[in-house]
A and B are shown apart, each in its own frame.
Chain A
Amino acid sequence: MPQILAMTVRRLVMSFFILSITALIVFLGTEVLPGDALTATIPTEELQFYSADQLAEMRSELGLDRPIPVRFLEVWARLMTFDFGTTIVKHEPVGPRIFHPMINSAILAGVALVVMLALVISLGTLASLKPGGRLDTTISATTLFTYSMPDFVVSNLFVIVFAVWLGLAPAVILAPTNAPKLTILAASILPVLALCVHGVAYQYRLLRAGMVEALNSDYVERARLAGLPTWRISLVHALPSALIPMLNGTASFVAGLLSGSVVVEAVFKYPGAGGELLRALSQREIPTIQAIAFLAALAVVVANLLADLAILALDPRVRTRSQNG
């Protein structure tokens, strides 16, 4: 399929530009606004103990006295090669520091995504078997309710119900960031569910709308008139079409997961990148913030690319359209 390859390459080139712009925004946000990385890093009360000469010396040591474009190119080159440098004051390498939190967060988001998709697709298909039936109505009403619940409410509710009342899980996760990943996986059950509540609701509504449209289509009527079983019509004929509008929503769900997980991780004390980001923000570790923001943008770009490829796989008409230009 050369046209799919061409499209993928084209999208990768686009992604490169998007990530470059992300790097620029992150750079501008942390370095060009009033004060520089150095004054931002040193707390105000300590700043008064440094003389102007000392600060200037430190600036030149860190290369902060160089022109903005040069420094941006340096940051850009570092981010693009996944070399996240060292923190400004303590000179700790950023990469190894954020490695485990990032992996933990990836596990959380990945499991949440898989659980969410599995739930949405099975619920959506089941409900579509009898549109307007009891199951359909129940799921629709429930998702409308859970859709309107913010992540922090859901998380706290889960802590109260599952940890405090039922005692099924510890209220906070005590595993260290570099704990074995299976331990992390086991600890991620409640946070995953908390993240899914909102996502399932939104994705389910998209999928249901897609299923209703597909089930009203001429090809589903033809399939019914040709004597195909109902389950087969739902799964084989309607579902792939219905997934297409949902998948773009799934890509934005990934973006939502990243911001949602900051909240959820904080509530459950999950050892992920969210906590690390909050810590870096409070200590003004600019390279760490840059690294996490950049990796988050990368995750969103990859999720969108995957969603587009999935749409290509599901809809042959899009495949040939990209072939025609």
Chain B
Amino acid sequence: MKTPHVDVRNLKLVYKTGPQTELAAIDEVSFSIGKGETLGIVGESGCGKSSLARAFLGYTRPGARIAGGALVVGGVDVFALTGEALRRYRGGRAAMVPQNPLSALTPHRTIGQHMVELIRIHNAAGNISPTQKALDLLAAMELPDPSAIFARYPHQLSGGQRQRVVIAAALVAEPELIVLDEPTTALDKTVETQVLDLVSRLQKRTNTTLIYVSHDLNVVARMCDGVLVMQHGKVLEDGPTKEVFNAPKTEYARTLIAAIPKLRTGTRPEPVRLATAAPILSIRDLDFSYGGKRSRFIPRFFAAPPARQTLKDISLSIAAGSTLGVVGESGSGKSTLASLVAGLVGGNGGRIMFDGKPLSGLAGGRGRDLRRRVQLIFQDPASSLNPQHTVEQIIARPLQVFFGMTRAASRDRVVQLLDELDLDATLLTRSPRQLSGGQQQRVAIARAFACEPDLVLCDEVTSALDVTVQAQVLQQMKRLQREHNTAYLFISHDLPVVAEMSDQMLVLEAGEIRDYADTGTILTNPNSAYTKNLLAAFASATAHSTKRTFQNVS
């Protein structure tokens, strides 16, 4: 075997957890990657894979440090680099494609400013101007109209465009190693395919070594030559992708692979619950458009631009204790639907009935009891949990506000709620930033259930989670639903997940209902062409990954 391009030996990375205590996030990890190869690193949240990703760039978050071992990239001992040399290595020889491109781009700088800055810092322009180089890179990422993208701010781009921009930024100095941290988490299925294909083509041309850190095993199966399965900071399996996927050696890897959501089109074991029960939520002819409202007091000159129709003639109902799944790609209006029911935005037309009474206007005008009975869980727990509060404060707050509990009484209930979600009581004093993504989302779920709600709006609640964590969280949510007889409006772009959770399903495209029926009916006998295509895309995504795996064998 030739000298590996990336060689990791006995790497140990620890986090400070107290004045004297440290916790190993990466524990004696060793592996290597050949030049131009692609390695996938998979594992649950908190397994240390993101810390490992950052370690490739000689970077640790505040509070963490490298406690031992070596990491060599192309003959360079990364941990021996300091000051200017380390700065030139980062972005120069090794680059990182960050997890969330929206928060990873500076909000007040244009895409052009980001690109030109990096090109200047790394002297990467060659004999063309930095601006031209930036435009070329954006064009190479197959972004339409690079000069328009160049002038825009991050928030003005779509998720797919932002993802391409951060990849372009990583390519600035033609690094020999690129680490991609959850590169497609924020993308729709169709966009994900495009971005991954693009990265593959670029890699073939430049012979770059790639590291995919991902919870999405489908992506890893498709893109990677080798795969590393991590748990609790240790490497459990390390081998060619097809071997690990087809014949996992450890129990954990088997669970991980089994947890990949698959579309089950066969007969559903669970009967549709309470289909005849009175609906807890019913919506009739709901319309909504953003920017359409015009104040009576402000003259026309100041008024907003014409409205964009986001939702059109939406009618649905959810029986108490049951789940309605809403599927759609980004921009289909599915999150707007949740915002309307939650009262985060006011409706323009139609009627929302909750428990037989009209539920109108904004949450602030609904009264305490209604606000308690309708709860919302967001996609990103990191930003929906107050970073200044401890876990106890976060979950205790609704108890104190809605039930007037004392501190002592609320603490008992908080521990009980944590227990229901299989979370340890030792987490009480932690702040959200100290938790893993799965733990954060479970805290958010506990907060919602602390209110004893009748309806919980779940907006992409498991989209940011690893498959095994996702499977656990979904199971816990089902259990909570049974125990508390709570209805879910379960929104996701991930069709297999929605199908798994829902009694009934609703397919949204461009603000209109394409299909609305029992889950079994949708999966086996969809009405619209759109739903048929969607089902086919998810079915082929699973099939494709296995096919690729077999191709690697030969």
Contact = CB atoms under 8 A, between A and B. Distances in A.
* B and A form one assembly: yes
B91 interface: yes
A240 B108 contact: yes
Nearest to A314: B108
A180 interface: no
Nearest to B88: A227
A92 interface: no
Contacts of A323: 304-305
A52 interface: no
Contacts of B110: 316
B25 to A, nearest CB: 16
Interface string A208-236: 00000000011101111111110010001
A229 B291 contact: no
A69 interface: no
B107 A218 contact: no
A316 B153 contact: yes
Contact of B103 (A10, A218, A223, A320): A218
A80 interface: no
Interface string B303-319: 11100000000000000
Interface of A, secondary structure class, is helix
B544 interface: no
A31 B553 CA distance: 94
B108 A225 contact: no
A237 B305 contact: no
A228 B153 CA distance: 20
Interface in A282-325: 314-317, 320, 323-325
Contacts of B464: none
Interface string B147-181: 00000010110000000001001100000000000
A245 to B, nearest CB: 14
Contacts of A241: 106-108
Interface in B103-133: 103-110, 117-118, 121-122
B343 interface: no
A226 B118 contact: yes
A221 B90 contact: no
A222 B155 contact: no
Contacts of B108: 240-241, 314-316
B13 interface: no
Q: Which of A222, A228, A241 lies at the interface centre, i.e. has the most chain B CB atoms within 10 A of its CB? A: A222
A9 interface: yes
A226 B302 contact: no
A317 B122 CA distance: 29
B79 interface: no
A227 B57 CA distance: 9
Interface string A88-101: 00000000000000
B105 A226 contact: no
B91 A225 contact: yes
B89 interface: yes
A218 B100 contact: yes
Interface string B61-105: 100000000000000000000000001111110011011100111
A227 B302 contact: no
Contacts of A218: 98-100, 103-104
B252 interface: no
A240 B89 CA distance: 27
B152 to A, nearest CB: 9
A6 interface: yes
B111 to A, nearest CB: 11
B155 A316 contact: yes
Given A6-B301, A9-B302, A226 B96 contact: yes
A218 B117 CA distance: 17
B153 A324 contact: no
A48 to B, nearest CB: 52
B402 to A, nearest CB: 30
30 contacts: A6-B302, A217-B103, A218-B99, A221-B104, A222-B166, A225-B59, A225-B98, A226-B90, A226-B91, A226-B95, A226-B169, A227-B88, A227-B92, A227-B121, A229-B87, A236-B106, A236-B109, A237-B106, A237-B109, A241-B106, A316-B107, A316-B108, A316-B110, A317-B107, A317-B155, A324-B291, A324-B305, A325-B290, A325-B293, A325-B303
Given A226-B121, A232-B121, 8 more contacts: A218-B103, A219-B106, A222-B104, A224-B90, A225-B57, A225-B90, A227-B121, A324-B290
